[in-house]
Amino acid sequence: MADGGMIGVYPQVFVVDTQAPCGPLPVPVYPRRGGWRHRLLFALVGLALLGVLIEACCIYNLHRGHGETSLAEKIISNEIAEIKPERKPAVLLKGSQPPETKDNVLLWTQEGDGFRHQMDYKDGLLTVRKEGYYFLYSKVAISDIHCILVKHTIMRISERYGDGKTPMELMQSVRYHCPKPLKGDRQDKQETQDVTSSYLGGAFHLFTNDSVFVKLEGGQIRTGQKENFFGAFLL
């Protein structure tokens, strides 16, 4: 030690005891991983959120589309209500009872289920009001006890052809009808006479004021509205 009680400027010396026991080293703490269970849980939660999002989008589009459809349906309904359905010309005439003819022209009636729409009828003539393609048809039932030649025709009168008054044939059916011979005591009874039928049908271009009618030559027409008819309708 120096004079005057002052401490000398010598470095201090620390002594390490190498024989002393050492304490345990600290163990580092790492975050623990959740494993496959946690990953599965995260995936399920993500799918649930995605499903909620998709459902919300669908509900939004549904409400939006429903409003647009309702408006369109109202517009269409109003337009349909304003448009009246157009009924095309059509006629169905039935055989009169008893059957009537005028110069071999068959006369008809609207009795039963017969009808007439936008076409005129008078004295066997069916007259067209509207030009177009019409389907014409006729059926007649003939009964007789003698052998006869039956001619069934649909005729037409048009101002565009000839003198406008002379009929012209549109369709024709010709057949020879001969009743089968009967045996015994039935051969003299007329109620056992044979019955045959003839049918005509086809499409034709008819003009305004054209007239069509049915003509039957030979044979006796059988009474019955279901067996004899004449009709036409616009295609």
Q: pLDDT grade, residue 53 (50/70/90)? A: confident
- Reported pTM: 0.61
Q: Give residues with Cβ within 8 angstroms of 91, minimum separation 6.
A: 115, 116, 117, 119, 121, 126, 231, 232, 233
What number is the average pLDDT over the span 33-37? 66
| pLDDT > 80? residue 75 | no
- What the block records as the tokens of 28 is 């580092």
Closest alpha carbon to 158 in 133, 127, 179: 127
pLDDT at 168: 95
Lowest-pLDDT choice from 12-16, 127-131, 179-183: 12-16
In the chain, the DSSP E strands lie at: 90-95, 101-102, 105-106, 108-109, 115-117, 119-122, 125-128, 132-144, 148-157, 168-177, 194-206, 211-217, 220-221, 229-234
Rounded to whole angstroms, the Cα distance separating 115 from 234 reads 14
Rounded to whole angstroms, the Cα distance separating 94 from 78 reads 40
Rounded to whole angstroms, the Cα distance separating 71 from 77 reads 10
